[in-house]
Amino acid sequence: MELSESQIAQYDEEGYLFFPGLLDTDEAAVLQGALPEILSRDGPEIVSEKEDASAVRLAFGAHFFSEPFRRLTLLPRLLNPVRQLLREDVYIHQSRMNPKYGFGGGASWDWHQDYPPWHSVDGMPEPRCVMASVFIDDCTPVTSPLLIMPGTQRYGLLDASPHKDAEGRGYELHHVDNTTFEGLAAEHGIEALIGPAGSVAFIHCNVLHGSANNVSPWRRAIMYLIYNAASNACTGTVRPWYQNNRDFTPLESLDDSSLRELA
């Protein structure tokens, strides 16, 4: 897939592009099939929900140990647009799966930007990375969709307070205060990203986003693939491989059918 000039201009303005059904149902089924093994791991790359230690909140780094997810990261449908948006070659800084279980198990995410810890902890020089958000499950209005505030990447780093999520187990969010949030919402509005499994949103790492508790009975998993510009490699070494990948080798695409071949 190649983006048009107007799509690239739209991304620069709005901070995101959304492609419902970019992966087909067979490809989405391959990714869904790989989830149980990923979510049953018990290494430090698996972070549980604060209110329920048996429920996974985040699974980092699955593209390192799950073949379907490795292939996903290298599909031309993802890599080509990301290279166009960043105007150069890319590597993956981090990947994380948010399974967002139903029955209230998938807890909310307060409004935040993702770039601050990558900058202050991992030493990422510039906000030149794209969050490819791949819907593993259908995201509907009732399964707590990802909410974004378009255009907020244009403010750069917002004044926000860092705090450790879930007893300081290593995932830091920077929440904006309510007054800032209210002003931005009045100006930019809020979009809910709704689409079938296999949809993909390319989101700038400084776009404000969050989500509510998932009180539906259905899981709503999204895989976030953080592609960083190759010339923007991180200098920090504090965080482990699954949060701050130190292999900056530019990615090479696979054939676009390589994920479907696993169906």
Ligand X SMILES: O=C(O)CCC(=O)C(=O)O
Which class for 143: exposed (0-12), middle (13-18), buried (19 or more C-beta within 10 A)?
buried
Residues 6+ apart with CB under 8 A from 43: none
Binding of residue 202 to ligand X (CB under 6 A)? no
Among 38, 46, 124, 146, binds ligand X (CB under 6 A): 146
Spatial separation of the C-alpha atoms in residues 63 and 95, rounded to whole Å: 7
Phi, psi of 128 (to 5 degrees): -110, 50
Distance of CA 229 to the CA centre of its chain: 16
Closest approach of ligand X to the CB of residue 5, in Å: 29
Spatial separation of the C-alpha atoms in residues 229 and 248, rounded to whole Å: 9
**Considering beta carbons, is residue 23 or 193 the nearer one to ligand X?**
193
Size of the site for ligand X (CB under 6 A): 10
**Considering beta carbons, is residue 100 or 204 the nearer one to ligand X?**
100
Comparing every residue's Cβ against ligand X, the nearest one is 211
Binding of residue 113 to ligand X (CB under 6 A)? no
- Which segment (71-79, 152-160, 209-217, 254-262) binds ligand X by CB under 6 A? 209-217
Residues 6+ apart with CB under 8 A from 151: 13, 14, 15, 188, 207
Binding of residue 197 to ligand X (CB under 6 A)? no
Closest approach of ligand X to the CB of residue 76, in Å: 25
Binding of residue 100 to ligand X (CB under 6 A)? yes
Binding of residue 94 to ligand X (CB under 6 A)? no
Residue type, 240: P
Binding of residue 242 to ligand X (CB under 6 A)? no
Binding interface with ligand X (CB under 6 A): 98, 100, 109, 114, 146, 209-211, 222, 224
